[in-house]
Chain A
Amino acid sequence: MRLKTALSGLLTATVLSLGTSAYADSTLRLLTWGSYAPDELIEKFEARYPDITVEVTFSNNEEMIAKLRATGGAGFDLAQPSHDRIYAAQLEYDIYKPLDLSQIDTSSMTEVHLNSVKENTTIDGEVYAVPHQWGTSGLMADKTLAPDFAGWGDLCDPQYRGKTSMRLKRTILLGTAYAMGEDPFAAYSDLEKYQEILDKVTDKLIACKENIKAYWKGGDDLSALMLSGEIVASETWDSTAYKLFNQNPNIVFVPPETGALTWIDTFVLPRKGKADDAAYKWINFVLEPENVAIMSASTGAIAAVQGGNDLLPDDKKAAVNAAFTDEDIANLKFFANIPPGVEDMEGKALEKIKAATGG
């Protein structure tokens, strides 16, 4: 008998604890990139809206989509995938819901980014995303050791043998395609043509393997490789290069001569999100100029708001000015929407490169 009461007590306790872990509406569950939700901003946001608590999960594009796909879009109230990861993911897995643009202060956003994101994420007349921050993928080099480093192809230049690095992901496929004089994004509409380009790129990167010291996997191991001088140049995200510029001013971001590849991280609502109001509040909150400054200091990326450049902290501004000329800015290449099926083609190409034994 006593056992029974104890048991039922235990059961009630379990049920209760399960109950409290089901979220009240006033929790904003944010699924975003590392450093995209600095503590300072969260505290400020919670001070302004005392009834909302913010919970953050850090992730990346692929994992965000995998997480949302696993639950059909439940578990989070606001996510921040890049602009090219929304259209196909929505068509295939139905994980987002359309935005109510009247709730968002879009007037402060830079037109080029807003239009580009809208264009890329409109399905059946409904807009699914608005821009937050943008940045580029390109190259970085130690000026003193690799002064002439200028394009994607230089990663495979034998004079830097064993001294370069890249990340074995789709960016390097696209960059190399541009370096070989192709336009991969234009070929997205003709997958047979794109496969031809991919085959050429694969051969090139397999031949390039012996030139590479190691493939980096994240910002931290790339930083260690570069700062220790084990490599002199690498493919990189611009924000990583800016961080290193602070520690060693010889390390600069080099926009490739064929154009740096530009991504825009966005705001989207997961389909089964439960706190849309809080999500809209967060979006408008982080786009306020003074909050943009805090955010950019943390992420190193430029906010897609008017005057976003000026809101960068001074050290980052210096790094950007050391990297980009106006010509480079005009030459930016926006990542195009990934049509269904391309991920598989690119994945196969990357597997082939990884498995090839050379170098």
Chain B
Amino acid sequence: MKKDITRLSFILLFAPFALWIILLIILPHIGMVIISLREKVAPRIYEFSFANYVDFMQEPIYWNTLLRTGSMSLLVTVLALIIGFPIAYYIAKIAGKRSKGALFLLCLIPLWVSDLIRAFGWILLLRETGVVSTALQKTGLVSQPIEFLYNDATVIMGLVYTVILFMIVPLVSTLDGMDDAMVEAGYNLGGNGSTVLRRIIIPYAMPGIVSGCIVVFMLTAGSYLTPILLGGKNSSWFTEQIYEQFISRYNWESGAAFGFLLLFFTSIVVWLGLKLSGQTLSSTVAKS
């Protein structure tokens, strides 16, 4: 009897997760694989082929865009880590108990507004006739209006702003668990600030750093709105390429192939990152 109830509750608890994974992740992906492996030979006639993947290899525009998206996402990840780490450390270790909650909440507030609205906020601030440019002119710092929008630096800044929270949250929760005594011991044994940071704090925070970096990298490489809205005439993003294939060119076959290539590419980057930093998923993400 008791066993039955345990089993039932397990099934009930597990069912939503399983349904989610199967119906919304696995099945659509199987569908995508099938679509990505056909080639249109005539209207309404399709044949099995690897043509879509071959096309990707042969067209430098596509893989250049993918590499560009990948490298810019890495840059965003690094920036988010460098900016997010001190904030997380302050919230977890330095701030008092009461201000800790308040600070954490402050970090969360931007998430209450949708990505789209935040991107439009940036547009209003940064455009040539926008708030920043006008303010600079009023104060006499510049004589001409300046265009801050429509370039790669703006895209990177917008992306860092959007994703930094996903870096801070895991870092705070890992650093929170660190015993202050470890830092004290480091100093007592003659370490200076940088040694303590290097030898004690960062190794301890590694699970948080790794999971934060993975989440941030994946979110950035897969983001659509921010690069499109803030980017200029030369800034292509790979997700835009996928959208174009699916919607404007009615080419679901190569759109699906591109989707897979993006998934494959980001997975490789994450795997390489883990290898190069000598970490494994089980020793980091599973622990944080």
Query: Using a CB–CB distance below 8 Å, which chain A residues touch chain B?
Result: 3, 62-63, 65-66, 69, 89, 91-94, 169, 209, 212-215, 217, 221, 224, 228-230, 340, 343-344, 347, 350-352, 354-359
Contact = CB atoms under 8 A, between A and B. Distances in A.
Interface stretch (B84-92, B99-107, B228-236): B228-236
Given A213-B150, A230-B127, A340-B43, A351 B61 contact: yes
Given A340-B43, A355-B236, A357-B234, A228 B127 contact: yes
Contacts of A209: 233-234
Given A340-B43, A352-B61, A359-B233, A65 B129 contact: no
Contacts of A169: 248
Contact of A355 (B61, B123, B127, B250): B61
Interface of B: 8, 43-44, 61, 64-65, 123, 127-129, 147, 149-150, 228-229, 232-234, 236, 241, 244-252
Contacts of A69: 250, 252
A229 B129 CA distance: 8
Contacts of B61: 351-352, 355
Closest 6 CB pairs of A and B: A347-B249, A228-B129, A355-B61, A92-B43, A62-B247, A214-B150
Contacts of A213: 147, 150
A351 B150 contact: no
Contact of A351 (B244, B246, B250, B252): B244
11 contacts: A62-B250, A66-B250, A91-B43, A91-B44, A92-B43, A93-B44, A209-B234, A217-B229, A228-B128, A340-B43, A354-B233
A231 to B, nearest CB: 10
B8 A230 contact: no
A261 to B, nearest CB: 17
B238 to A, nearest CB: 12
A354 B243 CA distance: 14
Contacts of B229: 217
Please classify the interface of chain A as helix (H, G, I), strand (E, B), loop, or mixed, using the class held by over half of its residues. helix
Nearest to A227: B129
B261 to A, nearest CB: 16
B20 to A, nearest CB: 16
Contact of B233 (A66, A212, A224, A340): A212
Contacts of A359: 233-234
Nearest to B151: A214
Contacts of A350: 244
Given A355-B64, A355-B65, A3 B233 contact: no
A66 B246 contact: yes
A3 B65 contact: no
A93 B251 CA distance: 12
Given A65-B250, A230-B128, A344-B249, A215 B43 contact: no
Given A169-B248, A214-B232, A228-B128, 5 more contacts: A214-B233, A221-B123, A343-B249, A344-B251, A356-B234
Given A347-B248, A354-B233, A355-B65, A92 B44 contact: yes
Nearest to A65: B250
A351 B246 CA distance: 14
Nearest to A344: B249
Nearest to A224: B127
A63 B247 contact: yes
A343 B244 contact: no
A228 B147 CA distance: 13
Nearest to A166: B233
